[in-house]
Amino acid sequence: MGLIAPPLALYVHMPWCVKKCPYCDFNSHGLRGEPPPYAAYVDTLLADLDADLADFGAAAHGRPIVSVFFGGGTPSLFAPEHIARFLDGARARLPFADDCEITLETNPGTVEHGRFDGYLAAGVNRLSFGIQSFDDDKLKRLGRIHSAADAEAAVKSAQDSGYVNLNLDLMYALPQQSLDGALADVERAIALAPTHISHYQLTLEPNTAFAANPPTLPDDDHAWAMQEACEARLAQAGYGQYEISAYARPDRRCRHNLNYWQFGDYLGIGAGAHGKLTDAAAGTVRRRWKSRHPRSYLEAAGGPARIGGDGPVSPAELPFEYMLNALRLHEGVPLEAFAERTGLAPERIAPALARAHARGWLQREPGRLHPTALGQRFLNDLIGLFLD
């Protein structure tokens, strides 16, 4: 079976934040001195998009954009008029699906009164709030600039502005956090009635302040107890788990992230943004990423220097790349999708599948890749079976 071009999304990276959090390993840069050149950055984003479309040719042209995601950094530092100008420019260059999901990440400590009305008018139809905790002590330990009261006020303000589709990010296994504390955060989130909750474990990532000076975190057994208890409470409240750390009301799963996990395509625009594109005619899957530092990205102004790296994913790497995403999904994926998205025959992964079944990490469902509960707990080991 040959490659079939999957849905195409658009990721837009906004690299600035008020202050770099000690656990964050994303490409984000705290504000220093003069405010960032927001308008010039939007110009550069559109020039970057033009250059990518010229480079990718028929592999990108004419394919409808199913979702747009403004990530960061803190995209809500950009005023609604900047977001509107980018979206208007992107629509002029690419067809957007009628039901295109457009998400903006926002920090509760950066949104001014009235901005939610502006984002809605600009076309943003989904907001994702980086709340992390409703415990003020934990927020200070995490280096967040908002309080629990700020978080609740921001969510309610967005709802008052007409937003229905909202995600709240929560973390657990925080410094000195108890099981009761983790559950209390989930209760506060549920009380705000979002459509989606992302609930993920704090981990110490390399090259972060926490990695250099590690806080005391709950051990693995306590972290697992928090995960199980919070999963159960979210399920009881009507939030179905569909990915390792994602829970949603019916029909409110994040389309953009689902496209990632199903090994879909996405154009990556902005400083440090990563993209993936399938060229069905050429039989290749290609990855491209952009220069990380905002200054060098701006100076490139859509020129070749904006590219930090580019090249095809080799057939030897494709099974691992695919499983790294697809096996995160709670319900798994059809086995035939592996061939459609990689161009490889299922026989290519037969030995790894046999090992996974023998260890009890995959369900024995003909024609489906579906992790067991044990496989979800040992997901990294399961995915590692598909390394070349």
Closest CA to 275 of 284, 283, 266: 266
Q: Mean pLDDT in runs of 10 for the chain (388 residues)? A: 89 94 90 92 98 95 96 94 98 97 93 82 98 97 94 96 97 97 98 98 93 93 96 98 96 97 98 97 96 96 97 96 96 95 95 97 94 94 95
Angstrom distance (rounded) from CA 304 to CA 165: 37
**Predicted local confidence at residue 113, as pLDDT:** 53
**Predicted local confidence at residue 1, as pLDDT:** 56
pTM given for the model: 0.96
Angstrom distance (rounded) from CA 247 to CA 50: 35
Q: 104 with 128: CB under 8 angstroms?
A: yes
Q: What φ, ψ does residue 323 adopt, rounded to 5°?
A: -70, -30
CA-based radius of gyration for the chain: 21
**Predicted local confidence at residue 176, as pLDDT:** 94
CATH 3.20.20.70 fits 8-259, yes or no: yes
pLDDT tens readout for residues 27-37? 999 898 889 99
Angstrom distance (rounded) from CA 212 to CA 204: 9
Q: Using H for helix, E for strand and C for coil, what is the string for 250-264?
A: CCCCCHHHHHHHCCC
Which option is the CATH number for 318-384: 1.10.10.60, 1.10.10.10, 1.10.287.1770, 3.40.50.970? 1.10.10.10
Angstrom distance (rounded) from CA 84 to CA 134: 31
How wide is the angle at C-alpha 105 spanned by C-alphas 71 and 377, nearest 5°? Answer: 80
Q: 294 with 15: CB under 8 angstroms?
A: yes
The one-letter amino acid code at 280 reads A
**Predicted local confidence at residue 206, as pLDDT:** 93
Q: 253 with 242: CB under 8 angstroms?
A: yes
pLDDT tens readout for residues 195-221? 999 999 999 999 899 989 999 999 999
The one-letter amino acid code at 256 reads H
Could you tell me the residue ranges of all domains in the chain?
8-259, 318-384
